[in-house]
Amino acid sequence: MNPINTIVSKTVVLPQADIDTDQIIPARFLTTTTREGLGQHAFADWRYAADGSERDDCVLNDPSLHGREVLVAGHNFGCGSSREHAPWALLDYGFRAVVSSGIADIFRANSLKNGLVPVIVDPDAHRWLLENPGADVEIDVETTQMKFDGRAVEFPIDGFSRYCLLNGIDQLGFLLENESAIAAFETNTQQ
């Protein structure tokens, strides 16, 4: 994971509510244990027709939007099963943050562990973001604020997850970072 302090991007908007993890990454693509290449399958049933061609009616196929790092989605994003492949697919596609007025707890936890920033905003801010696709946003992990349209809104993130995102480490990385302190503690408790 790379350290994440600030994400500055225009948004991509998927206004649908209740986007579940099977829509984010359909089950038929879960046969891999690596993250690489999952982005091509993100929202596969929305992006591709039965013959494999790109659908013109899917915003994620608009080449002018490629490179945008912030996905704004409808309420209750990431509901459904607990597949860790969902944040992997979004990250591999190129998103670094997901914004909604509600993000499912398990998806949120999986995102934080993998370096995808889940940003939960109030309904008023969410409505504005949904109605203004392509808005310029700045997500500051250190201050836990999202700035857009001349305003700043706070979003919740626990201290441990914030520390890990800012330092580009996961839970194992945190433990390894404290290996000498753990070894000293073990030595002291064995005496």
What's the pLDDT score for residue 33?
78
What's the pLDDT score for residue 123?
98
- Could you give the CA distance from residue 168 to residue 33 in angstroms, rounded to a whole number? 21
pLDDT digits (tens, 9 = 90+) for 51-80: 999 999 999 999 999 999 999 999 999 999
Query: For the chain, what percent of residues have pLDDT higher than 70?
Result: 100
pLDDT digits (tens, 9 = 90+) for 122-153: 999 999 999 999 999 999 999 999 999 999 99
The strand order across the sheet containing 117-120 reads 117-120, 97-100, 70-73, 6-14, 136-140, 145-148, 151-154
